[in-house]
Structure 1
């Protein structure tokens, strides 16, 4: 008989090579998982081992803030969080330790970037320079404190309401 459990684990500072282009969080995860399939990935640290996927997802969510992604030249380093399903036999030994079923993964946005409504990366500091002063001030008063992503999402919505077009596309600031 097998006993299924879920492990939440993180790999810190995984190096990903790029050609200098922006990578979305999903693309970062894809690159890290590709590296893992090719022999890397032994550096995951266990955060928790739990009995249910629900428990694992709660711990997973609580640990997202500990992840970051930073660009350094043509490379980037990223922390990748994942939930892995593992099966044990009656003696408590892991069955098929090399096989794994990944239930969820997460990598943070590159520092300084936010996602547009089109799921494209946008340099947040650059975006601020194009923002309507009136909308930006209104949102600052209404939302402070908030994350850059929360602010940018709200800004895009207000910009569309006022101007009838997509902020990031109009100013061509999507990566």
Structure 2
């Protein structure tokens, strides 16, 4: 699982916890969390929902919702353990830190309303050999080629911008 996917799942948990604390049921809280995160990242609702189920090795979303509800009611062990088992050890400190602060997240009653980022679509063409490398990388990392290309492009654009500004 990529770090961005992990962050998206943790954000769903955070937003859903806030809604649950306001009195919404687990289903609505989960749906609201997925919706907000999909808007924030500019990706489909289904992609975020998939991260909360398939990427965690769950058979159906009800399993995730049950762990969410248990977490909101004080037992974070199952959800934390699933995340730890499905991520690289390099992310374990992030996960443990998140759940150690989870009581503060549960205590938050206001949901931050902010405008999601606006995205501009671009169409790109890759040489066949570059496309093959991208597909192989996606398979090795368990990600999607489009997400990897987006992430790499944004990093490259930011690096070029820094270089251009430094030349001024």
TM-score normalised per structure 2: 0.30
Higher Cα radius of gyration: 1
Richer in helix (by share):
2
